[in-house]
Structure 1
């Protein structure tokens, strides 16, 4: 949503002849949020300060399964979402209302919040089997908590709407109470919304804003009602499994205007598996060939317990990891999974973008993160390390974006593997507005491409302030001298750097240049930075990563002559010396900068 204009208000109370008695300070912002059901798509459309916003975001479970809630983790979580160029987080009804710090950082980083009340078949007795169809047990206590939550959160500019429940509506008395308490002030009403919501209370509303419990945000009774999914409460969200990338672009993939939940795979990197599971959990799935030619993945029991979603869907989707060749071990499996993660989520968001406003008004991915060490849809794991899907989303959701429609492109000879680089330029100065890199065709041919020895030049400059590091990296593929007359190589420094949250001092003496010799010309494919603790005596499976880390980009590829700038920021524990490691598909020496 861009940089947020926020202001501080301070209110103090003074007692005559005794001075100040109390003081209260709050960060706030001015905005107007409007929402109505769009006539063209039948999906819910949001406007911020009069401007329509195409929603690209995801579902939030809760910060931590053991409720270890901290401002520091909240800041990392929310900044990760901003780094992905998301603009909405849905606080799912099976979770909770997070602490105020969560909403504070959403205010800071410009994330709209869909706040759901605690109504879902997953937790309140209306699941399978049904134990309490009128749940929750104590309706008065529920409404006491709901009203208290509204008062706690209503001053946050990021809060966009209230929703009664997940995939169902609250019991009638609770639903009517919420509708009454969360009536919109006339200034925030949308005529088209009033026309489409006959169940709204018909009594005249008072004009005095102080008489409203909120008054500035819409209340929708359930996550699949009133402009979400088919708008009638039927189970028309999803799917939640691996898809062919081109499927997201096809007209019959999803036929409703706003999908509140669509999900897929989420395998983390191998280091996370080793850090969170015993050695018997390091076994990769068995690949069982079925008579119809499809593959069925059989994961080990620990992965099954951690809700692993396979990269195949027998009889529907061929195994997407096998496209790169049968994996040999955990490292090989997780690396190939990252290739799939990147393509899967970039395609998902680009598929929705390709029909922006003509068919869709928004999409929320199930899910962004995990409150535990789960192995299904996620963009960063519970240890706060990003998957490649994180950067696939970041690419696809950038505000100005160039993309390829994977359902309509044609290749005459499907056997080779192709690399396609798209760049969108500003003609006045050839500044790059958007850069998008694809790999297409026969992925198995990427396996011999691993033997390519492509030379790189890495320039780094570190800024250190206490325990905080900010490192600026420039990585160049030097396998071909760039032709400065070609727009492919003009202004290689992509204009989508992360904002720096602190000021640091440094000079040219901090500049380091490293060259990696190579004899082959070609693409430096799927390069990946990571940050580790500098140690000489490590045990097998020991996790040396420093987490969390914020990257301006990662899992990127460079054509000959091209340069990529990457900003890396992180904090280190006391007494720890960090090292930044670069590795890649056809680059295995794990170059280290320290």
Structure 2
């Protein structure tokens, strides 16, 4: 079936299908052929899906058994074994990617940390391939996007159609124009899969610590990226700097020098070589203030909600980032809208104009007023791993699943550095007689907040 796909002579291998050290995807010996017809990894869903699809005995998280060689073996419950659970460790080769964040306390904590690992795994998988695009690799197919049942392996969305964070890691890495960090060399790379050359572009590189400061900042400018190619620019040298923090955030932005339009944005959380992410456990207590401005369009049972999310904390030092480059592009425009312009961009209903003329046309017939929700906090720094969910507005009974599914998000599982604004667009249908409410959760917002 796969004859000729790999080296042109019918030779190929598929896989691997288990957890990997993220940097291994970038190494020359990871896969020896040009085309991999099938490669897979982990696929743990969110905790709400486990509760909705399994009896309480199946809510037990794995036991972590330390072996003589120092590696950890996960021992899942029998129901997870039956549902083909792929562990987040590979004793002898890969240390447990969930324990890097600390021992999980319960199902919710385990599944949240699994989403962090899911995002890193699938982004690294695709970025490793595109790092050697057309120099070693010609392509790759991922096994698989979803399960036809309540399986616990290799999926971007679960049996109930809730996306895992791996979906958004893959989505990030698969941009036609993409800026990325080579996790093996720490070179900053630009991938251009389009037929047009990129010229007069620049990369903004900023590191953010857990105190909200920006201790490392660089601009790589006047770059030209040929079509159908991957170009290495310069090394990200923060780990080699004096007194680097053991855990830090890295934000890469590729933008046009002419008008600062952002072409690609990529956010990483990283630790120093040989370290772990356990300091992030304390970071959960850092409550970052957010402002969420939303506008809702309704036609029958179909909803489209546009959310502007702003990190209201301020950077504690005086470093000034590139003009306007703290604003993210959104799903309906090439460039994001800062909060000061959000009200001005609301349509004048008397003139019949539309906020989303390209996307919506005449589809939507009813628009709600602009609504603002604020999440108070005194912390400063990155609002980490934010994610929306849509629920039915009704009293929840015990562990009843109130989610409305499926929901299509323009982005999810995202993070914002101080001052950043991002637009996320949600599309979904609501059952008859149900009023939706939208929840925002994140690493710094464990309990969740109703924002609409």
- How high is the TM-score relative to the length of structure 1? 0.60
Q: CA deviation at 1:480?
A: 1.0
2:378 matched residue in structure 1: 519
Match of residue 570, structure 1, among 418, 428, 446: 428
How far is 1:485 from its partner?
A: 6.1
Structure-1 separation of matches of 2:280 and 2:323: 23
2:145 matches 1:286: no
Which structure 1 residue ranges, 5 or more long, are not aligned? 1-221
After superposing on structure 2, the runs of 4+ consecutive aligned residues of structure 1 that deviate more than 4 Å are 230-235, 481-485, 495-499
Separation (CA, whole Å) in 2 of partners of 1:398 and 1:497: 16
Residue 202 of structure 2: aligned partner: none
Partner residue, 1:45: none
Give runs of aligned pairs for residues 432-511 of structure 1, distance below 5 A. 432-441=262-271, 442-480=276-314, 486-487=321-322, 489-490=324-325, 492-497=327-332, 500=359, 503-505=363-365, 510-511=369-370
Q: Secondary structure of the equivalent of 1:351?
A: helix
Question: Matches of residues 540-579 of structure 1 in structure 2 within 5 Å?
Answer: 540-579=398-437
Equivalent position of 1:534 in the other structure: 393
Asked if 2 retains the 8 angstrom alpha-carbon contact of 1:550 and 1:568, the reply is yes
Q: 1: CA distance between counterparts of 2:54 and 2:359? A: 35
Distance, in Å, in 1 between the alignment partners of 2:30 and 2:319 is 43
Partners of 2:142 and 2:22 lie apart in 1 by 15
**Matched residue SS, 2:305:** strand
Q: Distance in 1 between matches of 2:10 and 2:58?
A: 39
Q: Does the aligned pair in 1 maintain the 2:46–2:164 contact within 8 Å? A: yes
Match of 1:354 among 128, 131, 145: 131
Aligned residue in 2 for 1:427: 257
Greater share of residues in strand: 2
Secondary structure at the aligned position of 2:377 is classed as coil
Q: What CA deviation, in whole Å up to 9, does each residue of 1:148-191 have, x standing for no partner? A: xxxxxxxxxxxxxxxxxxxxxxxxxxxxxxxxxxxxxxxxxxxx
- What is the CA-CA distance between 1:234 and the residue it aligns to? 5.4
Q: Which residue of 1 aligns with 2:438?
A: 580
Cα deviation 1:64-94 (Å, max 9, x = unaligned) = xxxxxxxxxxxxxxxxxxxxxxxxxxxxxxx
Does the CA-based 8 Å contact 2:330-2:423 persist in structure 1?
no
In the alignment, structure 1 residue 245 sits paired with structure 2 residue 47: no
Offset, 1:514 = 1.3
For residues 32-71 of structure 1, the aligned pairs below 5 Å read none
1:258 deviation in Å?
0.6
Distance 1:450 1:349, change over 3 A: same
Q: Give 1:500 deviation, angstroms.
A: 3.8
Q: Evaluate the alpha carbon distance shift between residue 378 and residue 459 of structure 1 in structure 2; reply closer, same or farther with a 3 A threshold.
A: same
Q: How is 1:142-181 mapped onto 2 (pairs within 5 angstroms)?
A: none
Secondary structure of 2:297's match? Answer: strand
Cα distance in 1 for partners of 2:250, 2:323 equals: 12
Cα distance per residue 1:170-227 (max 9 Å; x no partner):
xxxxxxxxxxxxxxxxxxxxxxxxxxxxxxxxxxxxxxxxxxxxxxxxxxxx12x11x
Q: Distance in 1 between matches of 2:175 and 2:38?
A: 21
- Check whether the contact 1:366–1:377 (CA below 8 A) recurs between aligned residues: yes
Q: Which has more helix, going by share of residues?
A: 1
State the number of aligned residues. 369
Gaps of 5+ in 2: 187-236, 334-357
Higher mean Cα deviation, 250-259 or 538-547?
Answer: 538-547
Tell me if the contact between 2:326 and 2:419 (Cα under 8 Å) persists in the aligned partners: no
CA RMSD of superposed structures (Å) = 2.0
TM-score, scaled to structure 2: 0.78
Structure 1 residues 489 and 355: alpha-carbon distance in aligned structure 2, compared to 1, 3 A threshold: same
Q: CA contact under 8 A between 2:288 and 2:383: conserved in structure 1?
A: yes
Deviations 1:369-427 (A, max 9, x none): 11111000000001000000000011000111100000012623676101000001112
1:261 to partner: Cα distance: 0.6
Report if aligned partners of 2:299, 2:366 keep a CA contact under 8 Å in 1: no
How far did 1:486 drift?
Answer: 2.6
What's 1:179 paired with?
A: none
Q: For residue 96 of structure 2, what is the aligned residue in structure 1?
A: 319
Q: Displacement of 1:493 after TM fit?
A: 3.1
